[in-house]
Structure 1
């Protein structure tokens, strides 16, 4: 990579920020593919591999004379993983399921009404817990709406048992993808 030979300190910035970008994009791509967004994932993969080839080629071209390139590359890889997982969490692709175990009382009925008024689909399953009758509320929702649902749940019952799971496939029901 002859045009990068006389870059001086800038080569480290190119490696550092290029690798962070590549790993962040790779993390988002993997999540998209795992959540069924194969076409978008494949499109992103094209740009990811271009960045990877450029950055990795830059490191391999001169690492024997300049070991600092390898250290910068490894550091950027770590930071890119962190940023990729942070970004994926903010983008919140996909679907989730929330299960809420609550006592069968007036508070839980008010919670149910508020959730439904906020356009959450809620299914109630009757159960028996150690301390008496319980309702199991099951919600399937877009991951982006989890904070909204949690806020409503906590406003009614701070000590409710809450289980959140990722959903890969959902057919039928109330959610429109």
Structure 2
């Protein structure tokens, strides 16, 4: 299948390098989908991840007997981790809980979040220095930049923390455009 590598041995380190980038990037994505409970996406990605790994490792065992191939394998692995992290940040898959602590009136923040299409819950609390309102909202990770901007405009001194969530249910969530929604009956 890879007889061309006998004619062009310099292609082997390139194949190893780019194969490992793809393989490790897919591995990163698979782990994310497994942790979020994506039962269909994770196995499909896992299939391609392992297939590419087997192809690359078989070529290393058959042909690679030089340091350049071994360095290509290691460099591809490291680069694949980096690319996987960039891709994960780009797709921003999942749901997060944003817990916001503000010294301003939390009711106004709840109204702002409602206008943005987010549900929110406010809890009055005592901070170490003064009274604060804690506002919690659940949003898609993709929407976090818009939320951060709105929070900064509302109160530049507020404090917030973000937690990953596995699932969400029975709340007020912003409408998400889904390409499949166009073809579903009754919509």
**TM-score (norm: length of structure 2):** 0.86
The answer to whether structure 1 residue 160 and structure 2 residue 153 are counterparts is no
Aligned twin of 1:90:
90
Pick closer, same or farther for the CA change 1:68–1:121 going to 2, 3 Å: same
**In 2: Cα distance, 1:173 partner to 1:109 partner:** 18
**In 1: Cα distance, 2:145 partner to 2:83 partner:** 20
The answer to whether structure 1 residue 25 and structure 2 residue 23 are counterparts is no
Ranges in structure 2 where 5+ consecutive residues have no aligned partner: 177-187
Does the 8 Å contact 1:104/1:133 carry over to 2? Answer: no
Pick closer, same or farther for the CA change 1:72–1:136 going to 2, 3 Å: same
Q: Quick one: which of 112, 117, 133 aligns to 1:119? A: 117
Matches within 5 A, 1:62-141: 62-63=63-64, 65-105=65-105, 108-141=106-139
Report Cα offsets for 1:25-46 as digits up to 9, x if no partner.
1100110111010211101111
**In 2: Cα distance, 1:41 partner to 1:32 partner:** 5
**In 2: Cα distance, 1:166 partner to 1:29 partner:** 17
Pick closer, same or farther for the CA change 1:2–1:171 going to 2, 3 Å: closer
Cα deviation, residue 5, structure 1: 2.1
Cα deviation, residue 157, structure 1: 1.2
Cα deviation, residue 112, structure 1: 2.9
Aligned twin of 1:51:
52
The 3-state SS of whatever aligns with 2:7 is coil
The 3-state SS of whatever aligns with 1:120 is coil
* Equivalenced residues, count: 174
Aligned Cα RMSD in Å? 1.7
Aligned twin of 1:61:
62
The 3-state SS of whatever aligns with 1:5 is helix
Does the 8 Å contact 1:111/1:152 carry over to 2? Answer: no
Cα deviation, residue 147, structure 1: 0.8
Q: Quick one: which of 171, 174, 182 aligns to 1:173? A: 171
Ranges in structure 1 where 5+ consecutive residues have no aligned partner: none
